[in-house]
Structure 1
Amino acid sequence: MQNILFTNKLEVKVFHQLPQDAIDIRNEVFVDEQGFQEEFDTDDGISTHLVGFFDGKSVATARIIPQGDKCFIIGRVAVRKNYRNLGFGAKIISEAERVITSLNGKAIYIHSQLQAVPFYEKQGYVPTGEKDFEEDCEHWMLKKDL
């Protein structure tokens, strides 16, 4: 029940350029915490970015990459460490799906780190294809049809 209360208090904003709040969260989670070196790429320039705010502080982010043929990739999903397990990850995914639906999207893919696969399965995503590695970290592709 507590997760629902916190989730309802997350305000998600949509940006068409990579905002500083998303940069800060991704640096904190992927670079500082997980040790990734190549966090930012050309997909950031063509993506729609979401940032979730709790009590005015940016705590979660994700990006949506158009793939053509009504397919999209949700990526770079990150929640600051002190704000995990409060429903914010599910909320940012839900809001990304809402944006994709408004764009007449029909399929969503997520390239997930192995440890996050169960989280995405709870959101209705199904593993597809085989594993691969990004900077020596095992990843799986997941899909959800809308």
Structure 2
Amino acid sequence: MTHRVIPATSEELRKKAFAIREEVFVVEQQVAFEEEFDEFEDESYHFVALDKNDDPVGSARWRYTDKGIKLERFTAKKSMRGKGLGTALVKAVLDDIEEKAEKGTYLYMHAQLPAVPLYLKFGFQTKGDQFDECGIIHYLMWREL
């Protein structure tokens, strides 16, 4: 296996999750740092994907909102795309949510266009029209737990 996904429960693991988010979103996709790192960091459940050297190659987070549970900040290092990392991240996040949340809870995300097929495999559906968020085209996607 070229990677493993674990909860980022320590400060060291959170720093690794934040480092890959900065690399992918801020540097590669040109999202403003202030847009990427927000007031929800402390209340979110963070995950980090590590390679065999324990270097970060992906990340994700989820959090409770007034609408349900929002899945966010899914990243994969450019060199790791197309190698099952996205699937592993989504599975890890959904498994964690299933342990903590009630059946029937509304799950949603703002999915970048290239990632929509991945989320469809996990039962998410698009809702509404495409929209721009931070200069990137997204769809609202949802499903029930």
For Structure 1 versus Structure 2, the TM-score category normalised by the shorter chain is 0.7 to 0.9
Match of 2:22 among 24, 27, 44: 27
TM-score, normalised via structure 1 length? 0.85
Kindly report the root-mean-square deviation, in angstroms, between the aligned alpha carbons of the 2 structures.
2.0
Structure 2 partner of 1:13: 7
Partner of 1:122: 121
* Deviating more after overlay: 15-24 vs 92-101: 15-24
Partner Cα separation in structure 2 for residue 66 and residue 23 of structure 1: 20
2:71 corresponds to: 74
Shift of 1:15: 2.4
Aligned length: 139
For 1:30-45, what aligned pairs fall within 5 Å after superposition?
A: 30-37=25-32, 38-45=35-42
Which sits farther off after the overlay, 48-57 or 122-131? 122-131
Post-superposition CA distance 1:67-119 (Å, at most 9, x none) = 257x2111000011111111111111101001111112423211111222122
For normalisation by structure 2, the TM-score amounts to 0.85
The amino acid across from 2:92 in the alignment is E
Separation in structure 1 between the aligned mates of residue 42 and residue 76 of structure 2, nearest angstrom: 21
Report matched runs for 1:34-113 at 5 Å. Answer: 34-37=29-32, 38-55=35-52, 56-68=54-66, 71-105=68-102, 106-113=105-112
Over the matched positions of the two proteins, sequence identity in percent amounts to 29
Letter aligned with residue 89 of structure 1: G
Aligned to 2:36, the other structure's residue is in SS state coil
**3-state SS of 1:74 partner:** strand
